[in-house]
Chains A and B, each alone.
Chain A
């Protein structure tokens, strides 16, 4: 699959293919554009709606359309299509269980130059607080494409969280994502569990631990709620777990992993690496790496933290 395109284009290109044959697929954009979306707007005009910058109406409209048999995708920059219309999502998706797909672009610091209004570093916690909404935090283009298909067949509402930037391809075209997580490398003693954009960083990080290559493994966890059975089976009898996320720690991936471990009586040390509330939101510019350094989740800082954690008795 072409890797010079963004997750957004990988996702919408696949939706375009599906929408060509399934005329019940409707895309509602809250005034977000993309070359891949232009194609839908131009060639499938009756299946494309632009609601303008009006996210609340976008969600209620999607709910109503869904009640007439449409498979609806709503789209905007991630903070606006989740938090701006959060109460609409709560009532229409979580309470009424209307199976629309909410597509947000710009997970984490994807909009690196746009400041904290456009960063989205608390949405996983907020969205997963509501029952019956599936969160798919996308890792690469192969997965973005796969979640286009998965969303079409899902009987529940879901939130597809796309990265804005072009990220390395990790998966193969025939990889499957229905188990909610993938073991990218098996580990005997330790596991790193990462999500979204941090998985490609984590892949580089485990190279730093080459001297104990059998010991440390990597799991990419992309669907919340966690598939507990699958996670417990995958981590088997490891001694320590490290979680990595470009997201605030309260309620995020690390929280979710800890909840799973505690609820299943697995008492092993966990190091959560992510954004701390003490730093809060930041007006930091100069690129994603600079922002990550500010929060101590750049590659170098993470390696340091992992080394300290693994050396602890």
Chain B
């Protein structure tokens, strides 16, 4: 386990670096939203949680991973490239002429599954896939990653109500709880807390954990396939928006941006140093 965690931490560092390089080069991309969920994605893709095959992205028995917070596409694209879903050279063309993809997730990219960027969609699609899997008696799981700011969308709660009533226990939602929206901290806008109670009252099994602790995440995720409960599972993962780069943390103004010029250099340095504040 300790070896696995060490490997995941190293992978996380590598993905953060490649994602940052990609966004700095393009001069765009939601860097902080990607940084907050990279550890979650690394746990899923490299921690032997998700079943997938980069050589056959449409493999029928694959687990579906639906990135509902499509603005974190830089994180997912970097991982998909690293896994060999497509040529890593595509990352250097991110959001540029002749590039394969841009700032938000698109469904024609191998491994991406859906187009996302408008919030409150992917979660409902994931529920539809989970329902279809039940109807077809398929055994794959459906994972979906939501932003905490995305939980302001009414459609999220329409789906939440539906999924628990229909006992979609093959649906695992993870919430990247980074506490920041576009303009401010969520609890300054409209309180999202107590978030666990809200999901529990909608009929979901709720687990709250540290979204930057591989140990905590693996403890939960490694058991997820053998769950016996009929409820869908939501994992609220507390994270830091901008995690890994001190200068980008705890500042709403960094939403949706890529660092440029001197600041880009500082960010690279902070990431290399593993600054305690951001790491």
Interface residues of A (CB under 8 A from B): 26, 46, 49, 51-52, 54, 56-57, 59-70, 87-88, 91-92, 95-96
Contacts and interface: CB of A to CB of B under 8 A. Distances in A.
B155 interface: yes
Contact of B124 (A26, A56, A69, A96): A56
B37 to A, nearest CB: 21
B226 interface: no
A52 B136 CA distance: 23
Nearest to B160: A57
A65 B129 contact: yes
Nearest to B165: A52
Interface in B64-112: 107
A64 B135 contact: no
Contact of B131 (A61, A88, A91, A96): A61
A236 to B, nearest CB: 42
Given A46-B135, A69-B136, A63 B162 contact: no
A87 B118 contact: yes
B135 A56 contact: no
A64 B127 CA distance: 7
29 contacts: A26-B135, A51-B162, A56-B124, A56-B155, A57-B124, A57-B127, A57-B159, A60-B121, A60-B124, A60-B128, A61-B124, A61-B125, A61-B159, A62-B128, A64-B126, A64-B127, A64-B128, A65-B128, A65-B135, A67-B132, A68-B128, A68-B129, A68-B132, A68-B136, A69-B132, A69-B136, A87-B118, A88-B121, A96-B114
Interface of B: 107, 113-115, 118, 120-121, 123-133, 135-136, 138, 154-155, 158-159, 161-162
Contacts of A57: 124, 127, 155, 158-159, 162
Contacts of B132: 64-65, 67-70
Nearest to B132: A68
Contacts of A56: 120, 124, 154-155, 158
Given A60-B155, A65-B131, 16 more contacts: A26-B135, A51-B158, A52-B162, A56-B158, A57-B155, A60-B124, A60-B128, A60-B159, A61-B128, A61-B131, A64-B127, A67-B113, A68-B132, A68-B133, A91-B118, A95-B115
Contacts of A87: 118
B141 to A, nearest CB: 13
Given A54-B158, A56-B124, A57-B124, A64 B115 contact: no
A26 B133 CA distance: 13
Contact of A67 (B123, B128, B155): B128
Given A51-B162, A54-B162, A88-B155, A63 B136 contact: no
B237 to A, nearest CB: 23
A95 B121 CA distance: 13
Contacts of B124: 56-57, 59-61, 63-64, 88
Contacts of A54: 158, 161-162
A63 B120 CA distance: 13
A interface SS class: helix
Contacts of B158: 51-52, 54, 56-57
Greatest chain A CB density within 10 A among B123, B131, B161 is at B131
A88 B156 CA distance: 12
Contact of A63 (B125, B130, B138): B125
B224 to A, nearest CB: 20
Greatest chain B CB density within 10 A among A46, A61, A87 is at A61
Given A57-B158, A88-B155, A63 B128 contact: yes
A60 B127 contact: yes
Contact of A61 (B135, B136, B162): B162
A61 B127 contact: yes
Contact of A64 (B130, B155, B161): B130
The 4 A-B residue pairs whose C-beta atoms are closest, nearest first, are: A64-B128, A60-B124, A68-B132, A57-B158
Contacts of B125: 60-61, 63-64, 67, 92
A65 B131 CA distance: 7
Contacts of B131: 49, 61, 64-65
Contacts of A61: 124-125, 127-128, 131, 159, 162
